[in-house]
Amino acid sequence: MRDRSWSIPLFKILGVRLDLHLTFLLLLVYAGWMGATHPARPIDVPPQMNALWWILLVMGVFACVVMHEFGHILAARRYGVATRRILLLPIGGVAEMDQLPRQPGREFIVTAAGPAVNFAIALLVYLLLQAMGAWPGLNGLERAFVPFDGIGFLLFMLIYNLTMGIFNLVPVYPMDGGRILRSLLATRLDYLTATRWSVWVAKPLALAAALFAILNGSWQPAILFGFIYLAGDLEYQAIRRDELMRGVSMGEVSAHRWRAVPAEITLGEALTLMRREQVPEIVVQLHPLPAVLVEEEVRELAEEHPWEATLGSLPLPRSRIADATAPLGIYLPKLEPKVGRILIYHQGQLVAVFRQETMQEVLAWRTWEKKLARNRPQSNMGGAAQRRRTPPPLPHGFSRGTTSGPGHVAE
């Protein structure tokens, strides 16, 4: 969702930018086509006018979607959570917040605020219709589908908001109902376990809903629930990663076995050095920032360039800088796919190298540490118990480090 190349910036509302994903335009085209060709179209309404009516209904629906998202945004703003933008997709809206509050009570309020807006809109529309003397009763709700009827439009908005309010309360994570369930479970369980239980509850419900939609020929709900099925698990994995990285500094999980080489060294000399000394990576002394290479990358460069070419004359991967005491969990979201290396400095000295390719090793290490902590005996039971206290080995080339403190990250 962070790739803005497929989105169109529209305008700002209360300081939050509203973006339209390009695929949303396909939804408008589809709505127009359905309106023009729908078999239930009134005979006295031209196809073009019915197409325009359907497009207006879609735009009205997404106006309610934006208001739903602002329910979340304004509630989150109360707790100091900023929102970068709202992205409108064919399946709904996404408010890109810095991070949802992890306190169960706050998460409950922020999450419940969205469906509450839908119910509030439905109530206001109902009161407006009553004040106008236009409420047709339950038996007159079919008027909601009559083209170019103002009362019908209001009835449609009432039905939609009631439906969406109830739909969003279904406990299918990461929908609002699933997050509400997670916030309730988090009052008794830790955050990660509460998320895992919410995902377990959501998967069979999402799968059953998708199959039901397919059997009834409703492909759009089926796609939506398929997306929800996958999104819940992806979000759980992201939270699991964040939990594993909590309290870990960049210096603790970075490789400390590397060799600094001058920019004048040739490709052939670099390969020979790495093989002879079994160095996992070299740091090329370039200005303003050094570059980091592993042996595979040096071999690839040797296939494309003469062995006599110096490393300083070649296009090398970009690097960034982090302090050894910088929290890993805070820094990881700032990584970009094209930045494959992070140089770890401590008190002005280069002390280690962090590569994105090592993330799976780091996660495995932290998982071992967590399991070890859970299985650690409460008292010294002798040699066997003492052996169980021994931490598992770190991945090759890593150090646990001893630095601590707030740290900072520099570009």
Tell me the pLDDT tens digit for each residue of 54-86: 888 888 888 999 999 999 999 999 998 888 888
Least confident span in 154-168, 219-233, 394-408: 394-408
Task: Report if residue 383 sits inside a domain.
Answer: no
As a whole number, mean pLDDT of residues 164-176 equals 90
Better-predicted residue by pLDDT, 394 or 247? 247
Task: Report if residue 375 sits inside a domain.
Answer: no
Last residue of a domain, one of 139, 169, 199: 169
pLDDT at 400 over 50: no
Task: Report if residue 86 sits inside a domain.
Answer: yes
Residue 362: band (very low, low, confident or very high) from pLDDT cuts 50, 70, 90: low
As a whole number, mean pLDDT of residues 88-95 equals 83
Q: Which amino acid is at 389?
A: R
pLDDT confidence of residue 354: 75
Task: Report if residue 220 sits inside a domain.
Answer: yes
Better-predicted residue by pLDDT, 389 or 403? 389
Q: Are residues 258 and 220 in the same domain?
A: no
83-89/16-21 β-pairing: parallel
Q: Are residues 181 and 60 in the same domain?
A: no
Task: Report if residue 52 sits inside a domain.
Answer: yes
Q: Are residues 131 and 113 in the same domain?
A: yes
Determine phi and psi for 321, rounding to 5 degrees. -120, 140
Q: Cis check for the bond before 288: say yes or no (omega within 30 of 0).
A: yes
Last residue of a domain, one of 210, 245, 280: 245
Q: Which CATH number does the domain housing residue 308 bear?
A: 3.10.580.10
Closest alpha carbon to 205 in 190, 189, 187, 221: 221
Query: Cβ(320)–Cβ(342) under 8 Å?
Result: yes
As a whole number, mean pLDDT of residues 219-245 equals 81
pLDDT confidence of residue 258: 76
pLDDT confidence of residue 409: 31
Domain region containing 277: 250-368+391-410
Residue 165: band (very low, low, confident or very high) from pLDDT cuts 50, 70, 90: very high
Taking all residues of the chain, what is their mean pLDDT, rounded to a whole number? Answer: 78
Residue 393: band (very low, low, confident or very high) from pLDDT cuts 50, 70, 90: very low
Closest alpha carbon to 94 in 158, 15, 24, 27: 24
Q: Are residues 112 and 9 in the same domain?
A: yes
Number of domains in the chain: 3
Residues facing residue 259 across a β-bridge: 282
End-to-end CA distance of the chain: 23
pLDDT at 109 over 90: yes
Q: Are residues 273 and 300 in the same domain?
A: yes
Q: Which range, 53-57, 129-133, 140-144, 258-262, is most confident?
A: 129-133
Q: Are residues 221 and 339 in the same domain?
A: no
Q: Which two tokens stand for residue 156?
A: 């449609």
Task: Report if residue 17 sits inside a domain.
Answer: yes
pLDDT at 401 over 50: no
pLDDT confidence of residue 253: 65
As a whole number, mean pLDDT of residues 126-135 equals 89
As a whole number, mean pLDDT of residues 229-234 equals 85
pLDDT at 199 over 80: yes
pLDDT at 345 over 60: yes
Least confident span in 10-19, 43-52, 224-233, 280-289: 43-52
As a whole number, mean pLDDT of residues 103-123 equals 94
Share of the chain above pLDDT 90, in %: 17
CA distance 409 to 411: 7
Task: Report if residue 107 sits inside a domain.
Answer: yes
pLDDT at 389 over 70: no
Burial 40-67 (b: 16+ CB within 10 A, else e): ebeeeeeeeebbbbbbbbbeebbebbbb
Last residue of a domain, one of 128, 150, 169: 169
**pLDDT tens digits along 30-52:** 888 877 777 666 666 777 777 88
pLDDT confidence of residue 126: 92
